Amino acid sequence: MTPLSGAALDGKLRAFLAEDVGSGDVTTDWTVPENARAAARLLAKSACVVSGLPVARRTFALLDPDLVWADEAPTGSHAGAGSTLARLAGRAQALLTAERVALNLLQRMCGIATATRRYVDAVAGTGCRIFDTRKTAPGLRAFDRMAVADGGGSNHRSGLYDQVLIKDNHRRLSGGVANAVREARRRAPSGMRIEAEVESEEELREALESGADIVLIDNQTPETVRRWCALARRGPRAPVIEASGNMTLERVRAYAEAGADRISVGALTHSVEAADISLELEIQPT
C-alpha cells in the first residue's frame, strides 16, 4: 500500500474543507477575533487504536501554515479513554474552521484501526492475516486503507485496476471459472495476480486446474473451508486461500484455524463505528 501523502493528500483535504466551508465559516468569522490564538488537545473519549494523526495535522495546517503540533500517541498504539492524542496551537479561527473535517477523518480512521486490531487479535497465533475489501465510502478509500494497516491488517487490491478478482457475475458471463481465469491470464501483465471466487467444490477444482493464484472461498462453513484447503494444497503449486462472507469477531478464528491464509472482512470499512474524539480548546493571550 502506498500511503496518501503530498499533493494527493492535500488535494483530498482541500476538497473536504471546501465542501464544509463553502463561501466562508460565517459563525467563526463573525464571532472570533481574527488575531485570536488558541491551544488545544485532541482527546480520546473512548478507547481506540490510534490512526490518522498526520491527516488531522495536515488538515489544520492547510488553514494555518504556522500551526504548532505535537503527537502524544504513536500511530498503531492503544489509547485509553481520556488519553491525549496530540496537542496543537495556532490561529483560533483556523482551528475552529478545520475542526470538523479533521475530527471526522480522525474518528473514522481510529474506529477502523480499532476494529481491525480486534480481528487481528482474534486470529493471533494462527498465521492467518486479516484483509480489508473495496467496501469503502467513495473518496475515503485511501484513508480507510491507511487505518486498516495502522490496526495491523493488510490491504486487498486498491481498485479494479491492480488485481484480477473473478466473482460470481464474472463467472456467469464468461462461461465458468476456468474460462474466466484463462482469459484473464491471457490478458494480464506479468506479475498481476489472478484471484477466483468459488462457491462449490467443482468451481474450486476449476480454479485450481486453470492456475488461479488466489482462491477466494466465499460463504462456506469452517468445515468446508478446512476440506477445500486440504484439496487445494495437494498439488505442487498451492494457491493462497482466502475466506470471506459475513465474517464476525465470533466466527473469524474458526476460519483461520480451518486453514485460510487470509480472511477478508468488509465490516472493517463498511460498518465503521467511529471513535469518540474531541478538540478541547483553550484561549491564548494575543
DSSP state of 82: T
Q: How far apart are CA 242 and CA 255, in angstroms?
A: 10
Q: How far apart are CA 272 and CA 161, in angstroms?
A: 25
Residue 284 confidence (pLDDT) above 80: no
The CATH class of the 121-270 domain is alpha beta
- State the average pLDDT for the chain: 95
For the chain, domain boundaries: 6-115+273-284, 121-270
The CATH class of the 6-115+273-284 domain is alpha beta
Annotated catalytic sites, by residue?
Answer: 100, 135, 167, 197, 218
Q: Quote the distance between the C-alpha of residue 178 and its chain's center.
A: 31
Which DSSP string do the residues of 103-140 spell out, in sequence order? HHHHHHHHHHHHHHHHHHHHTTTS--EEE--S---TT-
Mean pLDDT within 17-44: 97
Residue 7 confidence (pLDDT) above 60: yes
Q: Could you tell me the three cell numbers for 278?
A: 474531541
pLDDT digits (tens, 9 = 90+) for 41-89: 999 999 999 999 999 999 999 999 999 999 999 999 999 999 999 999 9
* Residue 216 binned pLDDT confidence (cut-offs 50, 70, 90): very high
Evaluate whether 159 touches 270 at the Cβ level (below 8 Å).
no
Q: What is the pLDDT of residue 1?
A: 43
The pTM assigned to this predicted structure is: 0.94
Q: How far apart are CA 99 and CA 116, in angstroms?
A: 25
Q: Judging by beta carbons within 10 Å of its beta carbon (0-12, 13-18, 19+), is residue 125 exposed, middle or buried?
A: exposed
Q: Label residue 242 left, alpha or beta by phi (over 0 means left) and psi (-120 to 50 means alpha).
A: beta
pLDDT digits (tens, 9 = 90+) for 97-148: 999 999 999 999 999 999 999 999 999 999 999 999 999 999 999 999 999 9
Dihedral pair phi/psi, residue 69, rounded to 5°: -140, 140
Q: What is the pLDDT of residue 283?
A: 75
**b/e map of 96-109 (b: 16 or more CB within 10 Å)?**
bbbbbbbbbbbbbb
Q: What is the pLDDT of residue 3?
A: 67
Q: What is the pLDDT of residue 286?
A: 64
Q: What is the pLDDT of residue 236?
A: 80
One-letter amino acid at 242 equals E
